[in-house]
Every structure is written in C-alpha cells, then in structure tokens.
Amino acid sequence: MAVVSVAIAGAPYDVRIETGLLERAGEHCRPFLRKNRVAIVTDENVAAAWRTKVEASFAAVGVVSNWLILPAGEATKSWEQLARVIDWLLVQEVERKDNIVALGGGVVGDLTGFAASMVKRGCGFIQIPTTLLAQVDSSVGGKTAINTPAGKNLVGAFHQPSLVLADPLALDTLPLRDTRAGYAEVVKYGLIDDAQFFEWCEANGAKLLAGDPSARETAIAKSVAAKARIVAADEKETVGVRALLNLGHTFGHALEAETGFSERLLHGEGVALGIVLAARFSARQGLMSGQDAARIAAHIGGIGLPSSMKALELDCDGRSLADHMLHDKKMDAGTLPFLLMRGIGQTFLAKDVDLGEIGAFLDEEMAR
C-alpha cells in the first residue's frame, strides 16, 4: 500500500492507495470512528457498484453503516442537496468529533465535505474517492463546494478530511471517458514541476487507461504526493503556490462555460485542452519552446483527450471565450492570474496577461 501524508499544520492526514481498499474500507476507517455506527453519503451509481461490499466491510468490524444515496451528476452540488445532506446528518445525530464518510466522485466529495464543514460548526469526514479525478485531485486538499446559479464551486469552504482511501479498482466500474478525463489532472502534476513524471506519463499513460493496476497505483500515488506537497505549502491558496494546481483550468473553465458545463466537454477534458492552450500560448509568448508545447499536445491528443479547439466547433469568437474568464473565481482585483510554462515541469503564475491577447490567441487556435 502507498501512503502519502498531507502535512497540514494542526490537521495532518494520510492518503492510502491500494487496489482492493474499498473492500477493506471498514477496517481502515474503524480507528477514526468513536461509535459503532457511521453515516455514509454516496450517489446512486456508486451505491449500485459498491454498497454491498463497503457495508460488509464495516459490518466485519462491528460498525453499522447508514446510507444517504443522492442522485448522480453535477446537478447534485446544489443548495437543495446540501440542505438535504445536512438535515440527514443531524437526524443521524452526528457529533463534532465524529467522522462521516463521503464515498464517490468529486460531486459527492465536494458536497459532503461542505456539509461536514457546517454540521455542528464542523465535523470530521473521510473521503473515499471512486473516480480518477477525485483520487488524484478533489479528495485531497480540503476544497469543498457547491454550484449556484452564479457559477461552479463559488460557494464552499476549506475543510480537510481525516483520512482518504483511494482504490484504483473503483475505476473499473466507470466509463473510460471519465477516467481519461481524470487523467488530465495526472499529466498536470508532471507539467507543474516534475518533468520526469511527465516522461513517466508518456510511457505509461496508455497502460493506466487500459487498467494496469501498478500504473494506476503509481499515477495516483505520485499525483497525491505532488498535491500534498503543494497543499502543505499553501493550504488556502494565499501565497501563489496552490494556484499552480490550476494549470489548464482558466482556459478549461472558459471552454466548459461556453459548452454549457455539459457532456460536450467534461471538466477533465476542458483541463486537458486548457493545458494544451496554456502551453501553446506560452510558446507564442516566447516563454517555452514550440517543441515542448507540441510534445504536450502530442501526449494529450495521443491518449484520446481533446488537444485542439477545432473539434469543439464553437460558435463564438476568441474575445467572448476570454470574457468567460472575467467570472473566474481566481479574479484578483480586476486581474486574472494565469498559469503559464517556461518548459515541461516549469509552470509559473503570470499576473500580467492581457485578456485581449488571450482573445486574439484563441481566434488563431479556432482557425488552426
């Protein structure tokens, strides 16, 4: 088993990564439970795939599990479902020192974590992420949120989990498209500050997507270790270190907004194309070599993720795409910090990027 420690001051926790961990969830959670019952929040897809095994694993250590099963999908990250989760947790008589369990992808993790941040002014929670995106990104680092009519993830809290259990086997019950989209976040860690890991991705990405257990475990452990390092240095994204995790996200978010946050472009697919655009824009500005930008696009495209704007067939111009960025939650006193690259593994935060220039670049990209 790989164990990564997230060294948050005052609230450190472990991320445990192992194939088959879901069937042993009860055993791993037991030391974190003060009672012989636990409240588990999940969604209907995850419950259909895993409830029997997870419930049995808790029963095996003398713990009765009570389940709240939410509708699957992004729409669940709403005020309505948040209220439902909180009310249910209160009926379960969850106390501040209890740990509840979030079993599922980013939607369940973000929503349940946010509910946990509020119940009794903050109770404990354990993340058991079941998608690649949640395993390598959203379950670690304590960002929790819901979506509102004003935008995605605009209302939330920093609330760190007590433990994270990541089982690569969970990916077997998911569509390949979802896992591939999550893989964009894996590549991101190589590009931020670890050129060797990017090389590993080039050599092993296809194996990982084909289900190779060792490639999956390595990718999750390396990604979580990178995220843990960054989050420990800048838990609340105040000193410009955690912002590195947003590589590809500003372009990606604009593309997601333009495509209506729909199945047309999954979040990870937006991040993948966003990373390619950040690389090409960096090359256009003379910051990184055209060869490095082409190498990044070749890996992302080669793995089956979107690497060009053409295929999206957007009905807008570059400036209106760039305008979506004005609503980005990273806007800071009228400027938008942008993640650009000086090379593979050399991402940095640029604060002086002109949106007009981004618009012109996007026009060029749409015409390519």
- Write out the catalytic residue numbers: 121, 143, 185, 227, 237, 242, 246, 249, 253, 267
Q: Which of residues 243-262 bind ligand GLY (CB under 6 A)?
A: 245
Question: Residue 76 CB, nearest distance to ligand GLY (Å)?
Answer: 19
Using Cβ positions, the residue closest to ligand GLY within the complex turns out to be: 245
Q: Which of residues 177-206 bind ligand GLY (CB under 6 A)?
A: none
Question: Residue 106 CB, nearest distance to ligand GLY (Å)?
Answer: 9
Residues ≥6 apart with Cβ < 8 Å to 327: 151, 257
Cβ distance 166 to 222 under 8 Å?
Answer: no
* Rounded Cα–Cα distance for residues 212 and 215 (Å): 5
* Rounded Cα–Cα distance for residues 217 and 134 (Å): 14
Q: 68 or 192: whose CB is closer to ligand GLY?
A: 192
Cβ distance 97 to 132 under 8 Å?
Answer: no
Q: Which of residues 44-73 bind ligand GLY (CB under 6 A)?
A: none
Strands (E) located in the chain: 2-6, 13-17, 37-43, 64-70, 99-104, 124-129, 143-148, 151-158, 163-166, 338-341, 347-350
Based on the shown chain and the rule CB under 6 A, indicate whether residue 242 belongs to the binding site for ligand GLY: yes
Question: Residue 266 CB, nearest distance to ligand GLY (Å)?
Answer: 15
Q: Which of residues 124-183 bind ligand GLY (CB under 6 A)?
A: 137, 141, 143
* Rounded Cα–Cα distance for residues 161 and 322 (Å): 35
Q: 26 or 248: whose CB is closer to ligand GLY?
A: 248
Question: Residue 143 CB, nearest distance to ligand GLY (Å)?
Answer: 5
The 3-state DSSP class for residue 1 equals coil
What phi, psi does 104 have (nearest 5°)?
Answer: 160, -160
Taking residues 92 to 131 in sequence order and writing x for each that binds ligand GLY by CB under 6 A, - otherwise, the string is ----------------------------------------
**Other Cβ atoms within 10 Å of 270 Cβ, number:** 27
Q: 65 or 160: whose CB is closer to ligand GLY?
A: 160
Residue 265, both tokens? 């472009």
Q: 39 or 136: whose CB is closer to ligand GLY?
A: 136
Residue type for 158, please?
Answer: F
Q: 6 or 165: whose CB is closer to ligand GLY?
A: 6
Give the bridge partners for 124, in sequence order.
99
Question: Residue 2 CB, nearest distance to ligand GLY (Å)?
Answer: 20
Which stretches of the chain bind ligand GLY, using CB under 6 A?
A: 137, 141, 143, 242, 245
